[in-house]
Chains A and B, each alone.
Chain A
Amino acid sequence: MTSFLNKNRPPVFCPGCTHDRITKGLDKTMVDLGFRADNTVIVTDIGCSGLFDTFFNVHALHGVHGRALTYAAGLKLADPSLNVIVTMGDGGLGIGGAHVLAACRKNLDLTLIILNNFNFGMTGGQYSATTPTDAIVGSEFLNQAEIPIDICRVAKAAGATYVSRISGHDAGLSDELGRAIQHKGFSVVETLGMCTGRYTKKNQLTPKVIDSMIEEMPREGGVVEENMRPEYGERYRALAEEKGKFPEPLIIEKTYELKDPKRQEMVILGSAGMRIVTAGDIVCYAGIAAGLNASIKNDYNITVLRGQSVSEILLSPEKITYTGLESPAVVLALSDEGVQRRQKIFANLSADTFVLKEASVTIPDTPAQVEEIDFKPLKIRKPDWALASLGILAKKELVITRDMLESALKSRFNDKVYNLAMETINKVA
């Protein structure tokens, strides 16, 4: 291949625009590296740098402002054999800052060429994230109140493994792009250039001035030794390969018949750390093993180690439709926090409802039958109160039976935990 440039769509940049040189420089790089068009993709976003994909006869993906790196990452993860080159202006750099940082941290094998020309050329020369404070741009005075970003410093701090800065007019541009592309990992090349249509009309910026700007800035030497580490894709695949086991769905066999199956609703009112959700699950397992349908929903704080933990469980021989509870058969009141979360239900419970209340818990007035249990003298610790309460229900044959409970515990826990759970249950049985 002598050139990847698309003869039908020659570059259309303003006369003197540095982008034109970078287009030709990148073409030379790809020729020099012996690239193939069919495993190379140029990914671009919005602005004059976003025209790049149209000038080359390679695969192309042109997308939304600042997001080019995200498409590039998707492409590279999906097809690691691709050479992925991203062009982005200083506009895309600003709006897509989070993606630049993420790309630096990840270290996917992508090459980001930043075409920094110090302003938004396409929309009228407004200031960008790289506009000098003293520049005269199309944003009145706004740039005078901010400072420009040094993306090379940022990229290094964020973990990029290759960072360089070069003038778009430098004779060594093509070679530098080649070094960046050949680097395995995320490489950032910041090119500095002139926007002749906008920026240089009011600002003295020539290739010479750019050279002296680069002189004055910290020198960037390409490979960043202190950041060197495995490429993200390789690391990801190695880690993922260790995950060999596909999680099969939980299937619960019907193991016995209930004499008189009927719809049962149950609420467990507790707190974080009391294994309320586990107890709720066990009731469902028990129900399904007895041939019932089951549903459960849990209500707990987003700060999972504090606050209420409430489980609402439904068992029914019929299909479960509405999953809200209408008349619970059983309420386990195991903590004040839990009770407060559902205090409105107590006044409306039916006289048949069985409320098991731990001695330390206060509940509102209720027409339901209330039984109090004091777990402390039984030497049952708080995290086991919900489980112990299931033992009490099984003894009374409310919602679950002893057989149901034992078989649910067996299917939920390993032998050791099962034996511990049975110890707790036997304390109340």
Chain B
Amino acid sequence: MALAFMEGNEAVARGAMAAGCNFFAGYPITPATTIFNNMLKMLPPKGGICVQGEDEIASMGYCIGAAMAGKKVLTATSGPGISLYSEHISFAIGSEIPMVIADVQRLGPSTGSATRGADSDIQFLRWGSTSGVPVIVLAPKDVRDCYWLTVQAFNYAERFRCPVFIASNKEIGMTKESFDLDAVQLPELMERTQFKGEAFLPFEAEPDKAPPFLPIGGKTLVRQTSSTHGPDGYITIDPNTIADCQERLRKKIHAHREEISLVEENMVPGTDTLVISYGITSRAVEDAAAALAEKGRPVSTLSLKTLWPVPEQVLIRAAERFSRIVVIEMNLGQYVNDIRRILQGKQVDFYGQMNGVLIPPVKIMEAIEND
């Protein structure tokens, strides 16, 4: 028996390397910096490129350029950096540029607290771009998740040609943990579909899919643009073309949301309460559930690893037999309203905490027992 010992940020970097990431650009920011540090050690020996942008906007710009040249790119930041990433996140979403963005969340708003954790950016990641096109956000709960979910994030980025976020947290990113690295089963790697036909149009695709890819710099000329475009990659004002493109951007993720629904559940027979959480908070929920079981008041738990798109069918199926739902978040309620929307008619109670420290199991027990 042997265990690996590393922090969540190192695990994100190792996951990226396992996924075949070969380009990183970033800008130092606590608590995400050690992802950058690790990539700077790991990429050069493997022939990859790792650079520091002059700011966060530039770091995303470098990633966009490299991704369009065919690289698998990662960048990492925290809330204040996501603010600056925003214009390029919109570009990557609208122009279907695959990349993985690790957001090691810290307490906001604004510069907030560099070394205090919180799930501050859950709504920001979903809606912090122009147009409201769906994005994919995955939330690890521990170092092991940081590793394999990053591989999963790359697969989604390649398959759907979009930015995929890892919504980590200072409390995972900068906490070292032991885990059995060898026992982790990584998903099979996916690469973006290469165009194989005759006449290449950079944004021609099936109505619910991402377009096949060709790199800038290859034999076939490629156009990429941040402006509203038709399949040919030129600006268009034709309402039908625009509508088709917008609809496809939505559908390529929305129509496949059940395939992107990653959750962990612990359904206990005979329980009437389902506790829903995500990220680091799910671990305190496990402790609270174990303590409640010992007290003779067991509950079931559901930990979401996919936050966006909302795993709607999974939530509906999981919640079906429960009369009461309790949602716990390390913020003052960023996700609970989506759960209320989906589980209409159920009693949905909420406990949230935003004070820079982890929610202790005892607070969660109180929230559950206080019905």
Contacts and interface: CB of A to CB of B under 8 A. Distances in A.
Please indicate whether A and B come from the same complex rather than being unrelated chains. yes
Interface of A: 9, 37-39, 41, 43, 53-54, 57-64, 67, 69-79, 81-82, 98-99, 101-102, 236, 240-241, 243-247, 249-254, 281, 284-285, 287-288, 291-299, 302, 320-324, 326
Interface in B105-131: 114-115
Contacts of A76: 65
6 contacts: A53-B223, A57-B221, A59-B216, A71-B64, A73-B61, A243-B45
A71 B65 contact: yes
Given A61-B68, A250-B5, A302 B217 contact: no
Contacts of A9: 234
Contact of A252 (B3, B226, B286, B361): B3
A293 B2 CA distance: 11
A323 B54 contact: no
B217 A98 contact: no
| For the complex of A and B, 7 pairs with smallest distance between CB atoms | A74-B65, A70-B61, A78-B69, A102-B54, A240-B44, A71-B65, A243-B44
Q: Which of B60, B68, B114, B178 has the most CB of A within 10 A?
A: B178
Given A41-B216, A320-B177, A322-B358, A293 B234 contact: no
Contacts of A57: 221
B208 interface: no
A160 B14 CA distance: 37
Given A99-B58, A252-B178, A78 B221 contact: no
Contact of A322 (B42, B114, B226, B287): B287
A9 B223 CA distance: 14
A75 B57 contact: no
A321 B3 contact: no
Most chain-A Cβ atoms within 10 A of its Cβ — which of B5, B41, B68, B227? B5
A57 to B, nearest CB: 7
A99 B54 contact: yes
Contacts of A291: 1
A127 to B, nearest CB: 23
A39 B60 CA distance: 23
Given A64-B226, A302-B114, 9 more contacts: A60-B233, A62-B227, A63-B224, A67-B58, A75-B217, A78-B66, A244-B45, A251-B4, A297-B176
B1 A61 contact: no
B49 A78 contact: yes
- Indicate the member of A69, A70, A72, A251 with the most B CB atoms within 10 Å: A70
B91 A72 contact: no
A252 B283 CA distance: 24
Interface of B: 1-6, 10, 14, 23, 25, 30, 38, 41-42, 44-46, 49, 51, 53-55, 57-58, 60-71, 87-88, 91, 114-115, 171, 174-178, 181, 215-227, 233-235, 280, 283-284, 286-287, 357-358, 360-361
Nearest to B222: A59
- Max chain B C-beta neighbours (<10 A), residue from A57, A63, A244, A299: A63
A344 B53 CA distance: 42
A144 to B, nearest CB: 30
A93 to B, nearest CB: 15
Q: Which of B91, B217, B226, B233 has the most CB of A within 10 A?
A: B217
Nearest to A100: B54
Contacts of B360: 322, 324, 326
B175 A249 contact: no
B164 to A, nearest CB: 18
Contacts of A82: 69, 216-217
Contact of B51 (A43, A71, A77, A288): A77
B42 A246 contact: yes
Contacts of B88: 64, 67
A74 B69 contact: yes
A322 B176 contact: no
Contacts of A245: 45
A41, A71, A254, A298, most chain B CB atoms within 10 A:
A71
A75 B61 CA distance: 10
A293 B3 contact: yes
A200 to B, nearest CB: 26
B238 to A, nearest CB: 16
Contact of A72 (B4, B23, B65, B67): B65
A3 to B, nearest CB: 15
B175 A70 contact: no
B286 A321 contact: yes
Contacts of A323: 171, 175, 177, 280, 283, 358
A71 B68 contact: yes
A101 B225 CA distance: 24
B265 to A, nearest CB: 16
Contacts of B174: 297-298
A67 B175 contact: no
